[in-house]
Amino acid sequence: MIYQLYYWPGIQGRGEYVRLALEDAGARYIDVARLPENDGGGVAAMERLMNGASVERPPFAPPFLKAGRQLIGQTANILLYLGGRLDLAPRDAAGRLWTHQLQLTIADFLVEIHDCHHPLGVGLYYEQQKPASKSRSDEFRDNRLSKFLDYFEGVLQRNPAAGPGMVGERITYADLSMAQVIAGLRYAFPQASRKALRACPRLRELHDEVFARPRIRDYLASDRRLPFNNDDIFRHYPELDG
């Protein structure tokens, strides 16, 4: 099967968590919105699926994945679907549910990271909400950042299988996503994340383990991997780094 991934071109965003799973598994996929319009791609193709009256179960927003006749939205939901198919999730029901729970917690973490630079509204520019962003970022750095990182560090330490990741004996899609979060934090909050990660050696090891995986390493070196930038979830504004 050739999967079709729909996400905004020009940013990693929430689509990157799906890309990492597809790339790590060596799955065949098309990043549809990055194709030229005359090749059946582009943003217009994505918007047709979101807004088309012929779609019985339309996604609210990207990312979404077309897998055969299925159209699956929401990052965590896509990864729940792909996990077993790409051998990136446990085979038992309890393990799959736990991996999904971790992915949902990562999604909560991403909301708080995003809200550091857009605390008042996504329709406003950062420059229109800088005082609120400063207050929100102070709270995030002082309290929320370490709360989330300490939680995931503890999950790694308590994995009964003593594997390299958070669940079972092998790396799962939740581990790929966690490594991406750490990379993004190091871009957006280099000082704050350096300080917070000192107390999280297992998370630092997980980041290095994931990005050293052969297919992920090849992906990072390719033009398929977009760079972090200030139109994305992770944005580097030095004034928000403390």
**Separation of alpha carbons 216 and 236, rounded Å:** 24
Question: How many other CB atoms sit within 10 Å of the CB of residue 42?
Answer: 17
Would you list the domain boundaries of the chain?
Answer: 3-85, 93-213
| Strand boundaries in the chain, DSSP class E | 3-6, 29-31, 64-67, 70-73
Question: For 3-85, which CATH superfamily applies?
Answer: Glutaredoxin (3.40.30.10)
User: The whole model's pTM is what?
Assistant: 0.96
**Separation of alpha carbons 196 and 181, rounded Å:** 13
Q: Which residue has the tokens 């995931």?
A: 152
Question: Of 96, 92, 102, 97, which Cα lies nearest the Cα of 17?
Answer: 102
The DSSP code for 54 is: T
Strand partners, 71: 66
Tens-level pLDDT at each residue, the chain (242 residues)? 999 999 999 999 999 999 999 999 999 999 999 998 877 788 998 988 888 777 888 999 999 999 999 999 999 999 999 999 999 999 999 999 999 999 999 999 999 999 999 999 999 999 999 999 999 999 999 999 999 999 999 999 999 999 999 999 999 999 999 999 999 999 999 999 999 999 999 999 999 999 999 999 999 999 999 999 999 999 999 999 98
pLDDT attached to residue 151: 98
**Separation of alpha carbons 156 and 167, rounded Å:** 8
Domain 93-213 in CATH 1.20.1070.10? The answer is no
Distance of CA 59 to the CA centre of its chain: 18
